[in-house]
């Protein structure tokens, strides 16, 4: 057991192929692998008069370790502890852009606050309490290598949301 | 045309055309990938 | 008058009711609310995007410009039409990618990441607040004038009421499910504007006939040089007019589009395309109506009410009330968005960054409220005594914004050597020049538009200062690497272009780098 975590993929290999096929019908997938990208995960509890929930409302954020970019996310599906033997095929940290844990925390709270005020405006103040901080959360991405019009092409398909991005563009 | 003086008509038509040409060029460049490979 | 007022009040009550009802049903956990619940589809998203461009300028400013100077107003319209595509193409993909790699979520933060220096943030935030104030002022005046016309109250009272409602909306608007009300509003305005345009054209007997009548009234109106040919051969001014809403627009703080949530954003690009088409249809409308108002109502005391007055003249009374209400609501929601943005800039980019690194949520709200109240009070004081023309204010604000920020944004992605010193110098040079030119009315004396001069000065400052401070203020390593990443962009296959999720670009990049 490590203190690293892995998010379970929500998009299957077949789904990923379907997504590529839908958007690049002439692409012929040749190789598909599951890669993981490192994020920092935070869970914050929000105290705001206008927000009610059966349980205390929690906000999940993921901060890209390589860029510091924070994202709001759905509650994390299938978070498991990373076992040492798990080969995650992680990308090398370029290091020229990586953020510290504190910077990641700062970015996450900034995002949450901006988003709260944008939606709920200024009727009431709010407070955030950090409930959880996961220093390394590995987010799954499918990487499909395909040939498209006789050229090799690699497409990243986000295994949580199903969004895609062609490498190199 | 439309009872407008020539200059006015030319300018309006010209600028709109320029935007259309610009948009077309931009879309063309985006499709460059496809075209480049069709020639191979 | 009272029928119209009745419809106006009924409209607002209906919107509030819809808003509260829908939000009650949706307001569950914080996450669902923040992440927006269901996505709305590209057409609806596009219409919502349009709500922000439908403002006091469109309905009062543009109308008055063309009522006063005829086809001269078209220079602005023509620039405006292209603004969206220019923004998408020139800044577009590279900027989105750079902002992803640098991890920025707002455009001012993006400027600081690209041009690292506390001064970048401080100066950019201040200039943005300055310009937002003027744009908000224009909305206040538009709201005041419109309300005075519809409700029959005096301007100072109407102004206070309009500002009051706007500020109230920035506080309590969170209780309303804005997505739906924005959408309904946008539809009403679109339908209303089209209806006014059609009715106006039919009242004057068609476009050709209308032009003939304008020409008979005063042939100068049909040239593009304004009454008395005041702008003839003033190419500097004309170029400025063309540039204001095409390039100037790129300077607005909302230009950097950031995905806040990790969700499939498929609608974004398509919505962008729809909204461009929408612009093409919608933008010339107010200018045409304003011009033909001269034929139908040649003796209007306030040209800014040209479109409202024409609406009263050509639409059936029930329609007038509803359309005017939609216009008022558009003005208010534009003002609300601007004020909230001012609040965010003041709290995040100034207070948090410089005064209190441990800003709490309550403090953020207090700072936002303070700046909003200050802007509201200052706005009222200026607008009630001697309100400047709406078109003039909006053009001034956009000119300053464009002069200050466009070189910074463009060079951020296109010029590796642009450094913090250059950016700071260019923002200051652009602002000072544009403001001075505007305040001293140098447009007329020199025949050069403020936009043109402002851009020239800020661009020059960027280039000269960046090159001169190459040694003392080098571009940091991480920025150079980030730029290298944005440079190697292969074109995207056309079929995949619209739906690619740009928020994945940084992750894709990490994998791409391994290939080398």
Mean pLDDT by 10 residues, chain C (516 residues): 76 80 61 54 64 76 90 89 72 78 88 95 95 93 88 90 91 75 77 89 91 90 87 82 79 57 54 68 89 91 90 85 81 87 92 92 94 96 90 90 92 93 97 92 79 93 95 91 81 70 86 77
Mean pLDDT over A7-31 rounds to 89
Q: Residue A56 above 60 pLDDT?
A: no
Contacts of A112 in chain C (CB under 8 A): 34
- Nearest residue in C to A113, CA atom: C361
What average pLDDT is seen over chain B? 73
Q: Verify whether the Cβ–Cβ distance C103 to A64 is below 8 Å.
A: yes
Q: What is the DSSP letter of C173?
A: G
Q: How confident is the model at residue A83 (pLDDT cuts 50, 70, 90)?
A: confident
Q: Verify whether the Cβ–Cβ distance C495 to A53 is below 8 Å.
A: no
- Name residues 157-216 of chain C within 8 A of A (Cβ): 169-175
Q: Verify whether the Cβ–Cβ distance A125 to C366 is below 8 Å.
A: yes
And the tokens for C104? 């920025």
Contacts of C96 in chain A (CB under 8 A): none
pLDDT at residue number C432: 96
- Nearest residue in C to B38, CA atom: C493
pLDDT at residue number C258: 54
- Nearest residue in C to A67, CA atom: C103
Mean pLDDT over A101-111 rounds to 93
Q: Verify whether the Cβ–Cβ distance C495 to A23 is below 8 Å.
A: yes
- Name residues 107-126 of chain C within 8 A of A (Cβ): none
pLDDT at residue number C443: 75
- Nearest residue in B to A147, CA atom: B37
Spatial separation of the C-alpha atoms in residues A116 and A136, rounded to whole Å: 25
Distances in Å between the alpha carbon of C366 and those of A123, B3, C380?
A: 10, 58, 21
For residue C44, the distance in angstroms to the closest alpha carbon of chain A comes to: 18
Burial C14-45 (b: 16+ CB within 10 A, else e): ebeeebeebbeeebebbbbbbbbeeebebebb
| Closest C-alpha to A106, from C109, C339, C119 | C109
Contacts of A156 in chain C (CB under 8 A): 504, 507-508, 511
And the tokens for A114? 């901006």
Distance between the two ends of chain A, CA-based, in angstroms?
Answer: 37
And the tokens for C31? 């996450």
Strands A58-64, A164-166: parallel, antiparallel or unpaired by DSSP? unpaired
* Contact assessment for residue A29 and residue A145, using Cβ atoms and an 8 Å cutoff: yes
For residue C90, the distance in angstroms to the closest alpha carbon of chain B comes to: 10
CA atoms within 13 A on the CB side of C211: 14
**Which residue among C86, C88, C493 places its CB closest to the CB of B33?**
C493
**Which residue among B8, B19, B32 places its CB closest to the CB of C82?**
B19
Q: What percent of chain A has pLDDT over 90?
A: 41
In the block, which residue shows the tokens 């060079």? Answer: C411
Coil/strand/helix, residue B31: coil
pLDDT at residue number C178: 67
Q: How confident is the model at residue A80 (pLDDT cuts 50, 70, 90)?
A: confident
Contacts of C270 in chain A (CB under 8 A): none
Contacts of A149 in chain B (CB under 8 A): 34, 37-38, 40
pLDDT at residue number C26: 56
Cα dihedral C500, C503, C504, C509, rounded to 10, equals 110
And the tokens for C80? 């405006």
Q: Verify whether the Cβ–Cβ distance C71 to B4 is below 8 Å.
A: yes
And the tokens for A113? 């606050």
C354: contact with A, CB 8 A cutoff: no
Q: Verify whether the Cβ–Cβ distance C490 to B33 is below 8 Å.
A: yes
Q: Verify whether the Cβ–Cβ distance B8 to C82 is below 8 Å.
A: no
| Number of neighbouring beta carbons within 10 Å of residue C471 | 6
Burial C231-247 (b: 16+ CB within 10 A, else e): beebebbbbbbbbbbbb
| Number of neighbouring beta carbons within 10 Å of residue B18 | 12
And the tokens for C114? 């690209």
For residue A26, the distance in angstroms to the closest alpha carbon of chain C comes to: 10
pLDDT at residue number B19: 82
For residue B40, the distance in angstroms to the closest alpha carbon of chain C comes to: 16
* Contact assessment for residue C45 and residue C269, using Cβ atoms and an 8 Å cutoff: no
SS3 track for C199-210: HHHHHHCCHHHH
For residue C302, the distance in angstroms to the closest alpha carbon of chain B comes to: 26
- Nearest residue in B to C225, CA atom: B8
Longest C-alpha distance within chain A, in Å? Answer: 58
3-state helix, strand, coil in chain C (%, to 5): 80, 0, 20
In the block, which residue shows the tokens 């603004």? Answer: C83
Contacts of B16 in chain C (CB under 8 A): 78, 81
Contacts of B38 in chain A (CB under 8 A): 149
Please report all neighbours of B, defined by 3+ CB atom pairs within 8 A: A, C
Q: Verify whether the Cβ–Cβ distance A156 to C344 is below 8 Å.
A: no
For residue B37, the distance in angstroms to the closest alpha carbon of chain A comes to: 6
Coil/strand/helix, residue A148: strand
Cα dihedral C46, C49, C50, C55, rounded to 10, equals 170
Spatial separation of the C-alpha atoms in residues C224 and C240, rounded to whole Å: 14
pLDDT at residue number B40: 38
Note down the domain range covering A125: 4-166
Spatial separation of the C-alpha atoms in residues C355 and A110, rounded to whole Å: 15
* Contact assessment for residue C247 and residue C87, using Cβ atoms and an 8 Å cutoff: no
Q: Verify whether the Cβ–Cβ distance C372 to A120 is below 8 Å.
A: no
Spatial separation of the C-alpha atoms in residues A84 and A82, rounded to whole Å: 6
pLDDT at residue number B34: 46
Q: Residue A53 above 60 pLDDT?
A: no
pLDDT at residue number C480: 92
Q: Residue A111 belongs to what H/E stretch?
A: helix A101-120
Spatial separation of the C-alpha atoms in residues C59 and C142, rounded to whole Å: 8
| Number of neighbouring beta carbons within 10 Å of residue C369 | 17
Burial classification of residue C154, based on how many CB atoms lie within 10 Å of its CB (0-12 exposed, 13-18 middle, 19 or more buried): exposed
Long-range contacts of C230-235 (CB under 8 A, 24+ apart): C230/C69, C231/C69, C231/C72, C233/C447, C234/C447, C235/C447
- Name residues 132-161 of chain A within 8 A of C (Cβ): 141, 143, 148-149, 154, 156, 158, 160-161
Q: Verify whether the Cβ–Cβ distance C492 to B33 is below 8 Å.
A: yes
And the tokens for C81? 């039409």
For residue B23, the distance in angstroms to the closest alpha carbon of chain A comes to: 20
Domain C2-28+40-254+283-485 falls under CATH 3.30.710.10: no
And the tokens for A120? 């709920």
Please report all neighbours of A, defined by 3+ CB atom pairs within 8 A: B, C
Identify residues of A whose CB sits under 8 angstroms from chain B CBs.
148-151
Q: Verify whether the Cβ–Cβ distance B34 to C493 is below 8 Å.
A: yes
Instruction: Give the number of domains in chain A.
Output: 1
Least confident of A40-44, A104-108, A114-118, A163-167: A114-118
C497: contact with A, CB 8 A cutoff: no
And the tokens for C2? 């009272």
And the tokens for C448? 């050069």
* Contact assessment for residue C393 and residue C137, using Cβ atoms and an 8 Å cutoff: yes
Spatial separation of the C-alpha atoms in residues C271 and C62, rounded to whole Å: 25
The values of phi and psi at residue C231, to 5°, are: -105, 10
pLDDT at residue number C269: 53
A6: contact with C, CB 8 A cutoff: no
A contact test, residue of B37, B38, B39 with most A CBs within 10 A:
B37
Distance between the two ends of chain C, CA-based, in angstroms?
Answer: 72
| Number of neighbouring beta carbons within 10 Å of residue C296 | 18
C503: contact with A, CB 8 A cutoff: yes
Q: Verify whether the Cβ–Cβ distance A69 to C105 is below 8 Å.
A: yes
Sequence-distant (6+) residues with CB within 8 A of C28 are A52, A53
Sequence-distant (6+) residues with CB within 8 A of B6 are none
Beta-strand ranges (E) seen in A21-158 are 28-47, 58-64, 70-73, 79-81, 127-148, 151-158
A contact test, residue of B29, B30, B33, B35 with most A CBs within 10 A:
B33
CA atoms within 13 A on the CB side of C11: 25
- Nearest residue in A to B40, CA atom: A150
Q: Residue A110 above 60 pLDDT?
A: yes
- Name residues 71-110 of chain A within 8 A of C (Cβ): 71-75, 91-92, 94, 96-97, 99, 107, 110
What ipTM, to 2 d.p.?
A: 0.90
Spatial separation of the C-alpha atoms in residues C90 and C410, rounded to whole Å: 8
pLDDT at residue number C502: 78
């Amino acid at each position: 057991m490590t203190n690293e975590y892995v998010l379970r993929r929500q998009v299957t290999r077949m789904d990923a192929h379907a997504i590529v096929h839908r958007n690049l019908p002439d692409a012929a997938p040749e190789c598909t692998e599951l890669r993981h990208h490192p994020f920092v995960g935070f869970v914050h509890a929000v105290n705001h008069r206008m927000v009610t929930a059966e349980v205390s409302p929690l906000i999940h954020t993921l901060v890209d370790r390589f860029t510091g970019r924070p994202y709001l996310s759905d509650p994390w599906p299938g978070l498991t502890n990373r076992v040492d033997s798990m080969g995650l095929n992680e990308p090398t940290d370029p290091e020229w852009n990586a953020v510290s844990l504190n910077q990641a925390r700062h970015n996450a709270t900034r995002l949450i606050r901006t988003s709260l005020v944008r939606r709920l405006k200024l009727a009431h103040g709010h407070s955030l309490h950090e409930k959880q901080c996961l220093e390394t959360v590995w987010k799954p991405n499918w990487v499909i290598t395909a040939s498209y019009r006789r050229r090799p092409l690699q497409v990243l398909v986000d295994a949580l949301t199903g969004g895609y991005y062609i490498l190199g563009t | 045309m439309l009872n407008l003086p020539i200059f006015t008509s030319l300018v309006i038509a010209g600028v709109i055309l320029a935007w259309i040409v610009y948009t077309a060029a931009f879309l063309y460049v985006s499709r460059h990938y496809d075209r480049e490979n069709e020639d191979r | 008058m009272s029928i119209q007022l009745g419809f106006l009040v009924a409209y607002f009550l209906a919107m509030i009711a819809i808003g509260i009802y829908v939000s009650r049903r949706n307001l569950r956990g914080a996450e669902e609310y923040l992440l927006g619940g269901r996505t709305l589809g590209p057409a609806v998203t596009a219409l919502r995007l349009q709500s922000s461009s439908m403002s006091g300028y469109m309905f009062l400013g543009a109308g008055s410009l063309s009522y006063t100077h005829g086809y001269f107003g078209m220079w602005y319209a023509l620039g405006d039409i292209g603004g969206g595509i220019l923004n998408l193409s020139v800044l577009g993909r590279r900027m989105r990618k750079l902002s992803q790699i640098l991890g920025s979520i707002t455009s001012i933060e993006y400027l600081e990441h690209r041009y690292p220096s506390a001064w970048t943030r401080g100066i950019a935030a201040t200039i943005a607040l300055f310009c937002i104030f003027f744009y908000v002022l224009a909305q206040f005046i538009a709201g005041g004038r419109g309300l005075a016309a519809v409700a029959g109250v005096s301007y100072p009272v109407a102004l206070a009421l309009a500002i009051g409602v706007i500020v109230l909306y920035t506080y309590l608007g969170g209780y309303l499910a804005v997505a739906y009300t924005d959408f309904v509003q946008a539809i009403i305005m679109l339908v209303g504007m089209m209806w006014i345009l059609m009715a106006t054209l039919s009242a004057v007997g068609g476009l050709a006939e209308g032009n003939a009548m304008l020409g008979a009234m005063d042939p100068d109106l049909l040239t593009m040089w304004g009454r008395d040919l005041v702008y003839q051969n003033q190419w500097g001014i004309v170029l400025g007019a063309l540039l204001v809403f095409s390039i100037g627009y790129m300077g607005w703080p909302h230009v950097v589009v950031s995905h806040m949530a990790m969700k499939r954003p498929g609608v974004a690009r398509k919505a962008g395309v729809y909204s461009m088409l929408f612009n093409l249809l919608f933008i010339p409308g107010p200018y045409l109506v304003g011009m033909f108002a001269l034929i139908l109502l040649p003796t209007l005391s306030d040209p800014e009410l040209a479109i409202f007055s024409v609406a009263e003249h050509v639409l059936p009374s029930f329609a007038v009330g509803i359309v005017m209400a939609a216009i008022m609501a558009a003005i208010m929601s534009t003002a609300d968005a601007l004020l909230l943005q001012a609040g965010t800039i003041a709290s995040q980019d100034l207070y948090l960054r410089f005064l209190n690194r441990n800003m709490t949520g309550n403090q953020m709200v207090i700072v936002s409220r303070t700046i909003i109240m200050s802007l509201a009070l200052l706005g009222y004081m200026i607008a009630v005594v001697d309100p400047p023309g709406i078109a003039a204010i909006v053009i001034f604000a956009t000119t300053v914004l464009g002069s200050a920020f466009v070189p910074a944004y463009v060079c951020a992605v296109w010029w590796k050597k642009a450094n913090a010193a250059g950016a700071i110098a260019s923002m200051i040079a652009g602002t000072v020049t544009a403001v001075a030119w505007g305040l001293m009315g140098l447009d007329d004396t020199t025949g050069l538009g403020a936009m043109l001069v402002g851009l020239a000065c800020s661009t020059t400052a960027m280039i000269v200062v960046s090159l001169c401070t190459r040694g003392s203020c080098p571009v940091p390593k991480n920025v150079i690497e980030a730029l290298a990443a944005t440079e190697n962009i292969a074109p995207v296959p056309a079929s995949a272009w619209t739906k690619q999720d740009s928020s994945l670009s940084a992750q894709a990049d990490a994998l791409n780098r391994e290939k080398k």
